[in-house]
Structure 1
Amino acid sequence: MRDKHFVHQTGLLAAGTHDHLNMEDVPGLLVAVLLVLAGRLGGTEPSGGSCFGKQCYVVHRHTGDFTSAQNQCKEQNGHLMTVRSHESHDRLVTLLGNASGQFWIGLHRPTGCPDATFALKGYEWVTQDGESIFSNWAETFDRSCSSPRCITVSAEDVFRWTQKRCDALVRGFLCEYSFNYACTRLEEEEVAGESVIYTNPLGFGEEGLLSLPPGSTATRMPSELKYICFSQKWQQAPWSCEVLQGGCQHKCIVGPDHQPSCYCPPGLSIHPVNKITCETDPDGPCTRLGCEHACLEDPHGAYSCMCTHGFKLAPDGRSCVDFNDCSDERLCPGENFRCVNTAGGFRCVCADGFKLTGGVCADQDECASAPCEHMCHNTPGSYRCSCYEGYIADAHSADKCKLHCGKEECKAECDPNDQYQCFCPDGYIAEERVGGTVCIDMDECTFAYCEHHCKNTYGSFKCSCSKGFTLVNEVFCKRKSEDEDEEWEGSGEALTSPSTPTVAPNEGPTRQPSAVTVGGLVGIIVCCVFAVVAVVFLVQHLLNKRGKAEREATLKASEGGGEAHSLRGMEVDA
């Protein structure tokens, strides 16, 4: 989608260009910009190059086979180098110099056998023609039909054309590019000590630039005046903001007069001579304004703030806020496309469930990734899961399935390799019978899960409350307030369907809720304590009373014995 967005932006190239630009030549500049983009996105960095007239040749030191080398040249609108004349051969020798290893050139044999009666011996250029006034075959040329079909050159072989298997990996390759026009080098003023620095969209240095392809830039030093090669001429910056930021050092903006202008961050101002670089200006009018993006001077000499493309000026006249480009329904018009707003722009992406294929948003088959536990049905932009017979979709996860019976008794789901390893749905228990294992609905109401009333259902149960109570947490009952009583008076019992407690097959409930309230339980405990204390006191009282009686009896017995002894003594004395 980035390429699509880029094409949309460059499609606005006409906006903000100088009046003297010939718009018929705009595609030439776009090609140059696309070359820059291709080089940045995926191409290998060149190790050298040269330009002559309307052609450029580039050396890439990147190991690969013939097909990958040709594809990389095509990514920048070129092809593998053709060596049709002594002049082009001399350029090849100059480019490679003493480089070690073999390099692909654009000569190959698509079909058939070698034919020694032709200059190219049955081979042809990647441009699908055999036009050539020059050949440089190696002495080891193989004439058999099984001979290698692609050609390399190297300094070790004195740059002779050597047959090589097309799938072999060699040291690098040479690319060739052709243009509709080129620019000559700018004249330099030797008296002023001026020099010119060149860059080109193919990415190599300026040593071999006898001519400059479209999109090349030139910067005069020390003035830093900047130019771009456009329509066979050097156009001074700032040019269209959509191309290399108009040549501005900081950023480019299209003013009210539809002309591109450069601007600088706060505290800096545009150089009055080159109009593109920024210099310190602490006392300038733009510094006092404190513009977030740009500060521009109008024809009347007044300064005001402006915002870059995709932003609009805030009410304070200084800040910039993002403009919602996606509010324009004309953007991203393709079927199943949607617009995504970004900071200062937008992107066209495919709607959910669709994938960009061949420039269109095609439905993506989500079922290919097996997202469903059982069956998957692809739908436009989405998918739908379903379950096998005897199962239903899990309420907590739509892509999962769980066993389901829906009646009092069902056949159990057993492991085909182990008939004793069987499973039942939730709320059912397994029972082994002569014909196999069956699942029988469990009556959860016998376990007193509900505080008031319970109604058994297949695989579950429902709790309800008596009149004047409200169901809480699916099993408990809470007394209603007076307002609620008035509202529910005469409404009868309200049944609800709680979640079935988890009960493992062949096992009883793990916990049975108590029917005694907390207050009742505390009362029972207090009564028990009082009863125990009373019993202790009673036992203690009885024991004390019994001990006292025994002591009195013993004392009386002792006193009676003494009197008898005295009487007997008196009788003896007498």
Structure 2
Amino acid sequence: MHENLNGHSRGSKMKEVTGLFVFVLTFLAGRAGGIEPNSGYCIGTQCFTVSQEPSDFTAAQIQCRDLGGHLITVRSSVSHETVEILLGNSTGRFWIGLHRTSGCPDAAAALKGYQWVTEDSESDMFNWAPSFDSSCSSHRCVSVSQKDGLKWIQEPCEEHADGFLCEYSFTDPCKGLTVAVGETVTYRIPMGFVGEDVLSLPPGSTAIRMPAKTKYVCLSEQWLQAPWSCETHQGGCEYKCAVAPNDVPSCYCPPGQTINPANKVTCEASAEDPCLPLRCAHACYKKGESYACMCDHGFKLARDGRSCTDFTDCRDKRKCPGENFKCVSVTEGFQCVCKDGYKMSGGLCVDVDECASAPCEHHCTNSPGGYTCSCDDGYKEDPKSPDKCILHCGKEECVAECDPNDQFKCDCPDGYIIEEREDHSVCIDIDECSSSYCDNGCTNTFGSYVCTCPAGYKLVEESRCVKDDGATTPKMPTVSAAPYPEPTRQPSVVTVGGLVGIILCTVFVIVLVVFLAHHILSGRGKMESAGELKAPEGEARFTESDA
């Protein structure tokens, strides 16, 4: 085993490169006949790809996202022509990044209530098919095909289209390497495509110069020759990468082979391997005029000079020094994995854009290592499911949420009742305290109510007060926000006319009861007065039964 003799500081330079984005570059593989499956081309700092893999809309979103991009947005005539070039003579339907997340279509709006997967509606061109369906039950996702003139056609999101189109943006590209006479350079970009004569490549791309077999990686507009940092593509080594005691990344080979001194990454057979007598556990390197043992990245050399110590508890912070990496102990040693919210791409841990898969019902905001959901006005996050949104008023009266195609089909938040007015409907807070839902104290709140108990009692089932046998000292009143009573769990559908009818029926019953009581009492009074007139003064009165 034999490491290369390169004493440069490429490893330290690699560690200084932060904030590196890894993007996908594909190559223009067709002309008039269209693009080959799963290929594309780049213009400026953008790349566009086409994948002829049957997928539903969500799966297509995820695949574009995993490569650092998103479904294509067709906002201008230029991007429309890009779609035409990508599809060529391809047949079938392909997803683009236009969809409707909630609500009904808005025929008056430019994008008709739809939005791009980038969560905006900015667009300079609109290419809707004449058969656009403006009903609330219309399909929410959009596809295009050559046979329909690339018109935007509504499709069910769960159905499998024939493929999808992705869009990527990148910065700090590398120019193609200079090629000498008799040399060729083959480029491999992060998603695995290979090509030659490429003028611009995104960070993370690698190159192999033939016939020397020297390797390079693109980082921040510069090509770094292998071996580079062991965390990235194993340093470009053919066999394994290790870090020498001077913190310089080095390649080494299996027993009986040595590193090619010209390219410092490939292995070649050696009749005389100077490392064999040392019996190194992992690898060896040239130390002055002799050789010494070294260990794989994350291990340290033992006192015997040839064994390597494995820290299985990850206490050695030097084990996974890459940005956004973390060390995980396993049975056989340790593993360097990405922190939560990050994924491995091109040997680096890059942020996962969770919003690309539309995990939120309304709005999603991506952040390093995570994301947050938010809701439209008139809604709030559902406490039971933060990615969902529920109706919310927060005051005594709000305008009802009505179907734009049916003004009589309206909803109100829990704890509110709908009231129809001359030109619209409103949601009015219900005073649950008037219905005696609490055993003791009750405080009405917007959309709900709160039950309280006196000192010495505790609240159970959020509404009943029971004696607190464990109480040794007087306690402050127990307070609990009670759940909505069952009748108000769903938006109320009682109209004003219904309420008036209920009130009139109640008043009628009360008047009838009062009238009957008055009639009975009046009849009894008249009978007693007649008996008194017939009896002589001072004599006792007799009834017919006494006689």
Counterparts of 2:118 and 2:58 in 1: how far apart (Å)? 14
The one-character-per-residue Cα deviations of 1:480-505 (angstroms, maximum 9, x if unpaired) are xxxxxxxxxxxxxxxxxxxxxxxxxx
Task: Output the CA distance in 1 between the equivalents of 2:208 and 2:54.
Answer: 35
Instruction: Give yes or no for the alignment of 1:61 onto 2:52.
Output: yes
| Alignment of structure 1 residues 410-429 onto 2, 5 Å | none
1:49–1:204: 8 Å Cα contact kept in structure 2? no
2:263 alignment counterpart: 274
SS of 2:147's equivalent in the other structure is: coil
- Equivalent position amino acid for 1:237 in 2: A
The aligned amino acid for 2:310 is F
SS in 2 for 1:252: strand
Show the counterpart of 1:468. none
Tell me which of the two structures has the higher relative contact order, counting C-alpha pairs closer than 8 angstroms and 6 or more residues apart.
Answer: 2
- The answer for the alignment partner of 2:88 in structure 1 is 97
> In 2 relative to 1, CA 327–227 (structure 1 residues): closer, same or farther, beyond 3 Å?
closer
Contact 1:223 1:274 in 2 (8 A): yes
Cα deviation for residue 243 of structure 1 reads 0.8
- Cα offset, 1:288, TM superposition: 4.5
- Equivalent in 120, 130, 133 of residue 111 of structure 2: 120
- The residue that corresponds to 1:202 in the other structure is 191
Secondary structure in structure 2 of the residue aligned to 1:133: coil
For normalisation by structure 1, the TM-score amounts to 0.49
Contact 1:48 1:205 in 2 (8 A): no
Q: 2:226 maps to which residue?
A: 237
CA distance, structure 2, for counterparts of residue 136 and residue 312 of structure 1: 62
Q: Which runs of 5+ in 2 are unaligned?
A: 1-8, 25-36, 321-325, 338-368, 371-547
The one-letter code of the counterpart of 2:295 is C
* Equivalent-residue separation in structure 1 for 2:277 and 2:15 (angstroms): 39
SS at match of 1:70: helix
2:291 aligned with 1:307:
no
List alignment gaps of at least 5 residues for structure 1. Answer: 1-15, 34-45, 349-357, 360-574
TM-score w.r.t. structure 2 length? 0.51
1:71 aligns with 2:71: no
In 2, Cα distance between the equivalents of 1:271 and 1:347? 28
Checking the alignment, whether the CA contact within 8 Å between 1:237 and 1:276 is kept in structure 2 is yes
Instruction: Name the SS of the counterpart of 2:61 in structure 1.
Output: helix
Q: Which amino acid aligns with 2:201?
A: L
- Distance 1:207-1:152 versus aligned 2 partners, 3 A rule: farther
Aligned to 2:19: 27
CA drift of 1:229 comes to 1.0
**Pairs within 5 Å for 1:330-369:** 340-346=329-335
2:320 maps to 1:328: no
**Which of 45, 51, 54 is residue 42 of structure 2 equivalent to?**
51
Aligned residues of 1:311 and 1:344 also touching (Cα < 8 A): no
1:451-486: CA deviation from partner (whole Å, max 9, x where unpaired):
xxxxxxxxxxxxxxxxxxxxxxxxxxxxxxxxxxxx
Q: Which residue of 1 aligns with 2:76?
A: 85
Contact 2:95 2:161 in 1 (8 A): yes
- CA 1:276–1:344: 2 relative to 1, 3 Å: farther
2:187 counterpart SS class: strand
Query: Which of 216, 227, 232 is the equivalent residue of 1:227?
Result: 216
Cα drift, residue 163 of structure 1: 1.5
Change beyond 3 A, Cα 1:327–1:147: closer
Residue type of the alignment partner of 2:315: D
When structure 1 is superposed on structure 2, of 244-253 and 205-214 the one drifting more is 205-214
Structure 2 Cα separation of the partners of residues 276 and 346 of structure 1: 23
Residue identity over aligned pairs, in percent, reads: 51
Distance 1:183 1:113, change over 3 A: same
Report the residue type matching 1:302 in the other structure.
S
Q: By how many angstroms is 1:312 displaced? A: 4.1
Pairwise CA distance, 1:196: 0.9
Please give the alpha-carbon distance, in whole angstroms, between the structure 1 residues aligned to 2:75 and 2:197. Answer: 20
| Alignment deviations for residues 369-409 of structure 1 (CA, whole Å, 9 cap, x no partner) | xxxxxxxxxxxxxxxxxxxxxxxxxxxxxxxxxxxxxxxxx
Which amino acid is the alignment partner of residue 188 of structure 2? T
- The 3-state SS of whatever aligns with 2:18 is helix
| Equivalent residue number for residue 404 of structure 1 | none
Counterpart CA distance in 1 for 2:274 and 2:336 is 36
- Cα RMSD of the aligned pairs, angstroms, is 3.4
**CA shift at 1:230, angstroms?**
0.5
1:118 is displaced (CA, Å) by 4.7
SS at match of 1:69: helix
Q: For residues 50 and 176 of structure 1, what CA distance do their matches in structure 2 show?
A: 10
Please point out which of 198, 216, 222 is paired with 2:205. Answer: 216
CA 1:338–1:124: 2 relative to 1, 3 Å: closer
Distance in 2 between the 1:150 and 1:277 partners?
49
Aligned-residue offset at 1:152: 0.3
SS of structure 1 residue aligned to 2:234: helix
Q: What is the DSSP-based 3-state SS (H/G/I as helix, E as strand, rest coil) of the residue aligned with 1:148?
A: coil
Task: Name the CA distance, whole Å, in 1 between partners of 2:42 and 2:165.
Answer: 13
Distance (whole Å) between structure 2 residues aligned to residue 339 and residue 168 of structure 1? 39
Letter of the structure 1 residue corresponding to residue 56 of structure 2: D
SS in 2 for 1:91: helix
Is structure 2 residue 127 aligned with structure 1 residue 140?
Answer: no
Structure 1 residues 247 and 124: CA distance shift in structure 2, 3 A: same
**Does the 8 Å CA contact 1:115/1:143 hold for their aligned counterparts?**
yes
Secondary structure class of the residue paired with 1:168: coil
SS of 1:177's equivalent in the other structure is strand
